[in-house]
Structure formats: structure tokens, C-alpha cells
Amino acid sequence: MHEHWQLKKQRSPIHDQSRIDEYYELARENGALGGKLIGAGGGGFLMFYTEDKTRLRHAMREAGLREVRMRFDFEGASLVARS
């Protein structure tokens, strides 16, 4: 993930935003092994991979970021409603 982030920053001028880089570096300094900017349009999310969730969560919270928890779905596509 870290290598991909570095390559993406070189390709995309939108990733020149210093605040995003500051948050990314803060995450790396606090246990993140890599990260990715995900989402589209007005904002998006920073997603990180770490083996020390507590340390990373604390550092990001101290920086004023809000955690959005997620989990993986291994069920695949499903029908939610029928009309």
C-alpha cells in the first residue's frame, strides 16, 4: 500500500495536498504500514493498514480525524429489497 501511495502521488496532482500528506505521515509514524486515499468527489477517506490499531486510532483522533469503522463482507452481492 505504501509503495502504491508513493506512485499515485507522482501521477496525480490532486495528491499534492499537504494536509493529506501530513495525515499520511502521522499515520506511518504511528504504526501504519501503508495507506490509501479512497472515495470520490468532495472529501474521501484515508484508509490505513496497521498491526497496532490502538496506537494509530489514538494518533488520528488527536489530530482531529474521525474514524469510520468498516468490515469486509464475504457474502457477495445480495438482494436488499424488491418492488
Enter the pTM of the model: 0.68
pLDDT exceeds cutoff 90 at 40 = no
3-state secondary structure of 18: helix
> Is 33 in contact with 51 (CB distance < 8 Å)?
yes
Chain position carrying cell 501521477 = 11
Judged by phi (left if over 0) then psi (alpha if -120 to 50, else beta), residue 37 lies in beta
Query: What mean pLDDT is predicted for residues 15-31?
Result: 85
